[in-house]
Homo-oligomer: A and B are copies of this chain.
Amino acid sequence: MASYAGELSTEVAPAVRVRSLHRSFNEAGGVLNGLDLDIAPGEFVALLGRSGSGKSTLLRSLAGLDRGVAGTGVIEVPEKVSVVFQDSRLLPWKRVLDNVTLGLRAGDAADRGRQALAEVGLAGREKAWPHELSGGEQQRASLARSLVRDPELLLADEPFGALDALTRIRMHTLLRKLCEVHQPAVLLVTHDVDEAIVLADRVIVLDGGVVRHDARVELDGRRSQADPAFARLRARLLTELGVEDDHDAPGRHLDRAVERAAS
């Protein structure tokens, strides 16, 4: 599997190169403060970070969508970039299929769009208006739109946020399959540490406007939470994110226990 970027030497030109990237929306303070990042061709990087830490800001910079935002830095990205926005951003005046195939210049655009929709579980909804889709369905339509155009770099901003566990696993599988075929570089924002570990070659944590933590996922074969290495990485990342232990609930249940004891 020489294609896995994680195994490449650093001599190969990176697909994405970011140097001392600064971005700020006002005088108060920068959102990105000298961020450096390289992504090798074909590498799958998951981006974690607090809400408001600047993940979307970084993605928009990479996509060249932040013309108005003050800042400096060097960004190099491939020609063909595809973005899954945090909001699904379907054109409300186009039916779902037309949204997916928009700008697709292949002769069989409609067929490919139909197939992509089927793959994200929206077969039969080609003619629906975006407002007729549920939140998760909109998200999947927007995913289909990005995947159907074989980008060299895929920037995905929480593309699975509104999906249930099963659908999410299906989308993981789909994304992995497409990555294997087309080998794009991927930068995927997620809030789900498990998802990051399962999917990515590398997990980075954004904090204070720089990459605070950069962890290569060295797990192999079937990545399972049961694997102690998985659990270790998970714990480390959660610590980086400020969480001592996941899903602890000190407040209520403790209180209740105390109350119970008192009653």
Q: Is the CB of B136 within 8 A of A249?
A: no
Across the interface, A191 reaches (CB within 8 A) one of B164, B172, B180, B238, namely B164
Across the interface, A1 reaches (CB within 8 A) one of B137, B158, B260, namely B260
Residues of chain B lying within 8 A (CB to CB) of residue A250: 173, 222
Across the interface, A177 reaches (CB within 8 A) one of B1, B161, B251, B257, namely B251
Chain B CB within 8 A of A176 CB: yes
Chain B CB within 8 A of A225 CB: yes
Residues of chain B lying within 8 A (CB to CB) of residue A221: 253-254, 256-257, 260
Q: Is the CB of B243 within 8 A of A165?
A: yes
Q: Is the CB of B246 within 8 A of A176?
A: no
Chain B CB within 8 A of A241 CB: yes
A side interface size, CB within 8 A:
66
User: Which residues 177-191 in A have Cβ within 8 Å of B in the complex?
Assistant: 177, 180, 191
Q: Is the CB of B161 within 8 A of A222?
A: no
Beta-carbon nearest neighbor of A173 in chain B = B251
Chain B CB within 8 A of A38 CB: no
Across the interface, A51 reaches (CB within 8 A) one of B52, B86, B136, namely B136
Number of copies: 2
CA–CA, A20 and B246, complex, Å = 38
Interface residues of A (CB under 8 A from B): 1, 25, 48-53, 55-56, 86-87, 121, 132-137, 140, 157-158, 161-169, 172-173, 176-177, 180, 191, 193-195, 198, 220-225, 238, 241-243, 245-257, 259-260
Other A-B pairs beyond A51-B167, A169-B243, 16, CB < 8 Å = A51-B137, A51-B140, A55-B134, A86-B135, A161-B161, A162-B191, A166-B241, A172-B249, A173-B250, A194-B247, A220-B256, A221-B256, A222-B257, A223-B247, A223-B249, A225-B247
